[in-house]
Amino acid sequence: MQSVADGSQSSEVPNVLGDFALHLSAQRGLSAHTVRAYTSDLEQLFLFAQGQGVESYAEMELSTLRGWLAEMASRQLSRSTVARRGAAARTFFEWAARTGRIEQDPAARLASPRQHKVLPTVLAVNSAATLMDAARDLAVEGGPADLRVWACVELIYATGARVGEIVDLDVRDVDLDQRSVRVLGKGDRERIVPFGVPAAAALRAWLERGRPALATWSTADALFVGQRGQRWGQRQVRDAVHRLSAIAGVDDVAPHDLRHSAATHLLQGGSDLRTVQEVLGHATLATTQRYTHVSAERLRSSYQLAHPRA
């Protein structure tokens, strides 16, 4: 097996990776970003195996896979990176064995390091309100760009949508009368998420007074458009939220932190896990359950500060 990078390899690797990528996207519904990450990880594995004298993925053994993970650990790559690459290998070889491309799955007993469980960054309710008020005040005094930021942060906080989902929204996805938005999430799973009066006010102001000044024929459908008339990008949204955090005088947050805050505040307000799961678009309830840990940590901290026998 020749190097993936030098372009002189046999057709085996690109062919099997192409088939695997199609399986991930078409049958498992994974995002394009995840598919690219998995195939890139496997290219790195095949290059490592070549250096160990393994000429084909069909010849791969558990010892080679373990050596690959150990080599990454010796380079002090993050646990999350090593864990993801281990998951890519397990997924690939399970698929290869199931589809008859290999006789046995060498990754069946491959263990990856456990990722550190890091609790998400969550704004306090009053800090979130301060951030939203700052966005509104800037929009009242400013122009289209400020109206766009106000509408965007209100919508993220109101719906808990991912920043990638927000920038992909079209005008037709928003129903101001019903105060709801149609979101296309991971795996092309569609969900309808309600939002409140503040987000509706911000969106109406943006659609009536901000967006017409920036939109062009090429972005006739996009809900959020940039200064040059193109669809607003994820990086621009992140930069805007960081700037707004500094102006508002709250902890520096990213758009995803607003998603975390929305989920946590829903639970603190009495919403059940299943509802939060549906709002966030999580495939499994286990993913949503981490927000119960956030609430528990806040409760524990408050208890330790306040109770005389804590």
**Residues marked as catalytic:** 162, 186, 256, 259, 282, 291
Using an 8 Å Cβ cutoff, are 248 and 130 in contact? yes
Place of tokens 């956030």: 294
And the tokens for 136?
A: 């509104």
Please state, in angstroms and rounded to a whole number, the distance separating the CA atoms of residues 205 and 216: 18
Return the bridge partners of 222, or none.
170
Place of tokens 């951030």: 131
The phi, psi pair for 47, rounded to 5°, reads: -65, -40
Please state, in angstroms and rounded to a whole number, the distance separating the CA atoms of residues 21 and 34: 10
Query: Any idea of the CA torsion for 273, 279, 280, 282, to the nearest 10 degrees?
Result: 60
And the tokens for 83?
A: 């864990």
Rg for the chain, CA atoms, rounded? 23
SS3 for 193? strand
CA distances from 57 to 6, 42, 70 (A): 18, 10, 19
DSSP letter, residue 192: E
